[in-house]
Amino acid sequence: MKTGLSTSLILHAAAIAFGLVTLAAPKAHDAGEVQAFPVDMVTPEEFSQAMQGDKTASVKEKPAPKPTERKDAVLDARNVGENEVDLEDVPKPVAKPVKVETAAAPKVEPAPKPDPKPVEVKQPEPKPEPVAQPEPAPKPEPAPKPDPIAEAITAEATPQENLDFPAELPRPEARPEPPKPAVAKVEEPKKPEKQPEKQAEKKPEKPARETAKAPKQEDLEALTEEVAALLDKRAPAGGGAKRSEQQAAIGTDKPSKAEKLSVSEMDAMRQRLGQCWSIPAGVDDAALLKVSVRFRLDRSGELEARPEVIRGGGSSGAARTAAESAVRAVSKCAPFNLPADKYETWSEVVVNFDPSDMF
C-alpha cells in the first residue's frame, strides 16, 4: 500500500503543478471597445416634412445656386493637371499665366524709364555751364547757384519723404520671388531694369509725384497693393466654388410642424356635412348625386366665398339640384370647428358628396 500511496501522491502533486502552469489563468477574451451611437427612427412623413422649405424665409430673386460640377477625370491620366485631356507636357498651363503677366508688367515700366534719364542728364548739364562761363555777366552765375540750393533743398526734402516709400515699395519685390524658378527666363532680364528704375525714381521723379500724391498716403498703399497684385506671378489658385450660404429656400405653405388632419377629425367633418346635407328627393340615378365641392375657409372656420362645384352638377335638373343641395349643405354647416394649428391643411377643402359614402 505504501508504494501505491506514495506513487499516487507524487502523481497528484505533478498533475496539480502541471495544471497550475497550463490552466493557470486563461487569457481574457478580447472584447474590444464597442461604442454605441444613437439611432432615431424617422418615418417617411417626418422626413418629407423636414425636407420642406421654411415658410418664413424671405423671397430672393436669385435661384438656388447650382452645385459645382467637377470635370470628368481621365481615369488613367499620367499627368495631373487642369486639362481635360491627358497631355504629355504638363508645364504648359503654368506658362500661360506667366506670359500674360509679363505683358502687363512692362507697360508700367517703359513710362518711368524715359523720365529719369532726361532728368539725370539735365542735372549735370547745368553744373558744367557755370564752369564754362565764369567770365560773362554775373547774371548767369546767380542763376546756377539757386539751382544747386534748390536741388539740395529738394534732395534734402525728398529723402525725408522717401523714407515712406522704401517701406512700402519693397513689398511687390518680395512677393513675386517664390515663382522665380518657374519663370526664371522671363524674370531675369527684368530685375536689372527694375533696380535702376527705383534708384532713378526715388530722386528725380518723386518730387513731381509728391506734389500730386504725397498727401494721400492711403492711395499710395492701395496703389502699391494693386502693383503687388499685378506683380504676383503665382498661378491663380484653384478650389471649388463656394457653396451658397444663403437662407433656406422658400417652401410650401405648410409649416414643418403641420400635420395632416387626423382621420377622426376628417371623419367628424364628413359626418357634420352629412347631417347638413338634405339629399334631394326623387332622384333615381344615384350617380347624379355625386358632387365635388371646393371651398376656402378662413382661420375662424367661416366660408371665405361661396362654395364652388368642381365635379358633378350637370345641366339636367336633378344634377343641378344635387349640386345646389351640396353647396347649401356647406354653407349651412359653415363655421367649421377645426384645429387652428392645422389651418394650412384645411384652408382649402374639397368635399365629395356621395350618398353611398356619406352615410
Q: Write the DSSP assignment of 196-244 as a string of letters.
A: HHHHHIIIIIHHHHHHHHTT-HHHHHHHHHHHHHHH--SPPP--PPPPP
Radius of gyration, CA atoms only, the chain: 47
Instruction: Answer left, alpha or beta for residue 353, where phi above 0 means left and psi between -120 and 50 means alpha.
Output: beta
List b or e across 85-99, with b for residues whose CB sees 16 or more CB atoms inside 10 angstroms: eeeeeeeeeeeeebe
Minimum distance from CB of 38 to other proteins (Å)?
23
CB neighbourhood size of 256 (10 A): 14
Q: Which is nearer to other proteins, 34 or 51 (CB)?
A: 34
CB neighbourhood size of 210 (10 A): 15
- Cα separation, 349 vs 328, whole angstroms: 15
Minimum distance from CB of 33 to other proteins (Å)?
15
Q: Which is nearer to other proteins, 10 or 57 (CB)?
A: 10
Q: Which is nearer to other proteins, 14 or 150 (CB)?
A: 14
Q: Which is nearer to other proteins, 12 or 122 (CB)?
A: 12
Minimum distance from CB of 13 to other proteins (Å)?
9
Vertex 94, ends 88 and 98: CA angle to 5°? 140
CB neighbourhood size of 205 (10 A): 17
Q: Which is nearer to other proteins, 22 or 211 (CB)?
A: 22
Q: Which is nearer to other proteins, 12 or 113 (CB)?
A: 12
Minimum distance from CB of 271 to other proteins (Å)?
55
Minimum distance from CB of 35 to other proteins (Å)?
19
In the complex, the residues that contact other proteins under the rule CB under 8 A are 1, 3-5, 7-9, 11-12, 19-20, 23-26
* Cβ atoms of 97 and 236 closer than 8 Å: yes
Minimum distance from CB of 39 to other proteins (Å)?
25
Task: Give the residue from 248, 202, 298, 243 showing the smallest Cα distance to 56.
Answer: 248
Q: Which is nearer to other proteins, 5 or 50 (CB)?
A: 5
Burial class (CB in 10 A: 0-12, 13-18, 19+), 288: buried
Minimum distance from CB of 37 to other proteins (Å)?
22
